[in-house]
Amino acid sequence: MSEVDPRWGADAVPALVVENVTTRIGPLTILDGLSLELRAGEVVTVLGANGAGKTTLLRTIAGLYPPRQGHIRLFGESIEGRPAHEITRAGIGHVPSGRELFPRLSVADHLELGGRLSPPARRAELRARMLAMFPVLGRRLGQRAGTLSGGEQQMLAIARALMTDPRVLLLDEPSTGLAPKIVLSVFQTFPMLREQGVSILLAEQSLTLGLTAADRAYVVDQGRIVLSGAAAQLAEDHRVVDTYLGR
């Protein structure tokens, strides 16, 4: 790794380590020996054009696709190859692309389902925190998820993932289909999450958005990391744009 955030010691156990992971879907190799690291308390963005492998990376970490080879460690604990629901329970919150809400269940049901594994006291605490973070959800508690606006749905998907009390949050293109103003309000919750000890791995197609929100970033192309570094540095690096344009 090129950079170490001074707030976190280099010797601390990283929140998430992805090591030489290869994932195939059918005959296609989507991730090709990909490695990255997320330190505790960091926000790291995975940048890449459409089809670069960002979603597959997040889904592989979440256990939805079993990796063909390589290791994935959550605070030093090996999680690759475990059933996906157990990975959720181990502390990986996933806000998948397309949000994957339950259209005919209420906002309150989503929060309850997300928090179903926590003891009642912790669940109540998490719920209160979510309603403070996303006040709009509090006004829609009885409403079905399918009737919410796009921004509200995205907030609900994030709140549902946070209700599982994760140590690492995977966010798959939360900006899709949202007005920039709403995206920024989603990103504004990151410092709060960081304070609560949640590390964030964000997959993002938009360079500007992805780099504003992050400490560090990786650029993925054809299932491999081609560039990495501090977000501010990468924002100046013309090679990032070149990768996007396939140069």
Q: State the residues that interact with another protein by CB under 8 A.
A: 62-64, 83-86, 88-89, 93-96, 99-105, 109, 112-114, 116-117, 160-161, 163-164
CB of 179 to another protein, least distance (A): 24
Q: How far apart are CA 30 and CA 34, in angstroms?
A: 10
CB of 106 to another protein, least distance (A): 10
Residues 6+ apart with CB under 8 A from 40: 8, 12, 13, 14, 15, 75, 197, 199
Nearer to another protein, 6 or 26 (CB): 26
Q: Is 169 exposed, middle or buried (0-12, 13-18, 19+ CB in 10 A)?
A: buried
Nearer to another protein, 59 or 216 (CB): 59
State CA 22 to chain mean position distance.
19
Sheet with strand 28-38: strands edge to edge: 28-38, 16-25, 69-74, 77-78
| Of 15, 42, 83, nearest in space to 202 by CA | 42
Provide the 8-state DSSP code for 206. -
Helices 150-163 + 120-133 axis angle, to 10: 150
CB of 117 to another protein, least distance (A): 5
How many residues does the structure list for the chain? 247
CB of 90 to another protein, least distance (A): 9
CB of 111 to another protein, least distance (A): 10
Nearer to another protein, 75 or 102 (CB): 102
Nearer to another protein, 113 or 227 (CB): 113
The two tokens of residue 7 are 């707030």
Nearer to another protein, 38 or 163 (CB): 163
Matching residue, tokens 């992971």 = 21
CB of 118 to another protein, least distance (A): 10
Nearer to another protein, 7 or 85 (CB): 85
